[in-house]
Amino acid sequence: MSSKLIETAPGRVPVVGLLNRSGQLMDERLFSDLRAAGYPELRPGHACVFGNIGRGGSRLTDIAERAQITKQAVGEVASELERIGYLERIPDPTDKRAKILRLTKRGQEAQDAGYAIIQRVERELAEAYGVDFVNALRAALEDYTALGVGHAVGRHAA
Amino acid sequence: MSSKLIETAPGRVPVVGLLNRSGQLMDERLFSDLRAAGYPELRPGHACVFGNIGRGGSRLTDIAERAQITKQAVGEVASELERIGYLERIPDPTDKRAKILRLTKRGQEAQDAGYAIIQRVERELAEAYGVDFVNALRAALEDYTALGVGHAVGRHAA
DNA sequence: GAAGCCTTGTAAGGCTGCCTGACGAACTGG
DNA sequence: CCAGTTCGTCAGGCAGCCTTACAAGGCTTC
């Protein structure tokens, strides 16, 4: 979405648009800070890997499933992260088809930096809107997204 | 973003990821319902017009500015909406360069249907999480996005 | 242990949703 | 009337995702 000023009723800006825009703003903040912290090559598209890879590495398939995108999409991101030195593909000893994606040292540093920025941003949110509100927000959105993935809030109509 | 399960601290799923995912889910819900309501051609990309066009029509430039995207992007969407009968371009009598984009009858019906769906979704949110919470959410996000657009929460670093 | 089916990752190609650059036509101020 | 600006468009490009198709390897069953 991209709605900004339109109101469905007096004083009511659609929550959809607000969610999307604020998410986008926070993304920009995150990657802007990440650039400033010395990771200028990282783009939002890389987040599906950084956000869904396990400590000791994960299979591409697992990352794809957690990120809810296709294996091909993850594979492309992984190849680029590999190319720029953030990730390595090591063969899975237990399955010769599979490769384990694992962050390199630089990759882990970037991930840590990302989480540090996220925590800073969330502290700012807590200062601005109250800790309780932010916690309630997180809880509500966790619930909503969990519902959406699982037994449907209203999608899955197609 | 696309984070789903990762936590920055025990029990803390990043708000960024939650915002983005819930926005996406609500988008899907919206356009799924819109399809079901008889507007199958409408895609999320069209929202920048539907969400930022005035009652009597608006100039492409104004829509672009409100949606915070380029005129070219809006122009493309407008052309498609025109082609499928949701929009018309009428010459601006006060400026021969400009054209006023105005929803056709069908376009307005679609817009109304969209807002009806949004209201329904928000009613559901209010039932699930409480009216007060939804209002607080809207207020906070309005504030956050307004800050982001105007005097910067943290972006504009690039 | 071979046949048939499922999974893992990849290759190829396509679409959407944006962007930048360049432009002609029209408006505006001096 | 001329310079500079603004309106919309054309052309081209790129990111981020998808679908289809496939080879290589694993799993089951007899």
- B124-152 pLDDT, tens per residue? 999 999 999 999 999 999 999 986 533 33
Long-range contacts of B143-152 (CB under 8 A, 24+ apart): B143/A128, B143/A129, B144/A22, B144/A25, B144/A125, B144/A128, B145/A4, B145/A18, B145/A21, B145/A22, B145/A25, B148/A21, B148/A22, B148/A25, B149/B68
Q: Give the pLDDT confidence score for residue A103 in this predicted structure.
A: 98
Q: What are the start-end ranges of the E strands in chain A? A: 58-59, 87-91, 99-103
Is the distance between the Cβ of A76 and the closest atom of strand D smaller than 7 Å?
A: yes
Q: Which residue is nearest to nucleotide C19 (CA to C1')?
A: B70
Q: Give the pLDDT confidence score for residue B151 in this predicted structure.
A: 35
In this complex, the nucleotide whose C1' atom is nearest to the CA atom of residue B98 is D7
Where is pLDDT greater, at B97 or A155? B97
Query: Which site among B7, B13, B18, B66 would you substitute to test the A interface, given the most A Cβ atoms closer than 10 Å to its Cβ?
Result: B18
Where is pLDDT greater, at B157 or B129? B129
B134: left (phi over 0), alpha (psi -120 to 50) or beta: alpha
Among B47, B125, B154, whose Cβ lies nearest the Cβ of A3?
Answer: B47
Q: Give the pLDDT confidence score for residue A157 in this predicted structure.
A: 28
Cross-chain residue pair A148–B19, CB shorter than 8 Å: no
Q: Give the pLDDT confidence score for residue A40 in this predicted structure.
A: 95
Q: Give the pLDDT confidence score for residue A146 in this predicted structure.
A: 84
Per-position b or e across B124-140, b if 16+ CB within 10 A of its CB: ebeeebeeebbebbbeb
A-chain residue closest to B141, CA distance: A18
Is the distance between the Cβ of B60 and the closest atom of strand D smaller than 7 Å?
A: yes
Cross-chain residue pair B9–A119, CB shorter than 8 Å: yes
pLDDT tens, A17-73?
999 999 999 999 999 999 999 999 999 999 999 999 999 999 999 999 999 999 999
Confidence of residue B103 (pLDDT cuts 50, 70, 90): very high
Residue A70 is given by DSSP the state -
Per-position b or e across A56-89, b if 16+ CB within 10 A of its CB: ebbbbebbbbbbeeeeeebbebbebbeeeebbbb
Q: Which of A111, A8, A96 is nearest to A54 (CA)?
A: A111
- Under 8 Å between Cβ of A156 and A65: no
Query: Which site among B3, B8, B22, B32 would you substitute to test the A interface, given the most A Cβ atoms closer than 10 Å to its Cβ?
Result: B22
Q: Report whether pLDDT(B97) > 80.
A: yes
A-chain residue closest to B45, CA distance: A1
Q: What percent of chain B has pLDDT over 70?
A: 85
Q: Give the pLDDT confidence score for residue B6 in this predicted structure.
A: 57
Average pLDDT score, chain A: 88
Confidence of residue A12 (pLDDT cuts 50, 70, 90): confident
Q: Report whether pLDDT(A156) > 50.
A: no
Q: Report whether pLDDT(B73) > 60.
A: yes
Q: Give the pLDDT confidence score for residue B4 in this predicted structure.
A: 43
Q: Report whether pLDDT(A158) > 50.
A: no
Q: Give the pLDDT confidence score for residue A25 in this predicted structure.
A: 93
Q: Pull the structure tokens for residue A92.
A: 């899975």
CA B24 to chain centre: 11
The whole-angstrom separation of Cα B71 and Cα B79 is 12
Average pLDDT score, chain B: 88
- Under 8 Å between Cβ of A110 and A39: yes
Cross-chain residue pair B138–A12, CB shorter than 8 Å: yes
Half-sphere exposure of A8 (CA within 13 A, CB side): 22
Q: Give the pLDDT confidence score for residue B147 in this predicted structure.
A: 65
Is the distance between the Cβ of B14 and the closest atom of strand D smaller than 7 Å?
A: no
Is the distance between the Cβ of B99 and the closest atom of strand D smaller than 7 Å?
A: yes
Pairing of strands A99-103, A87-91: antiparallel
pLDDT tens, A58-94?
999 999 999 999 999 999 999 999 999 999 999 999 9
Q: Quote the minimal CA–CA distance from B36 to chain A in Å.
A: 8
Among A24, A125, A128, whose Cβ lies nearest the Cβ of B15?
Answer: A125
Mean pLDDT, residues B17-32: 95
The whole-angstrom separation of Cα A56 and Cα A102 is 6
Confidence of residue A13 (pLDDT cuts 50, 70, 90): confident
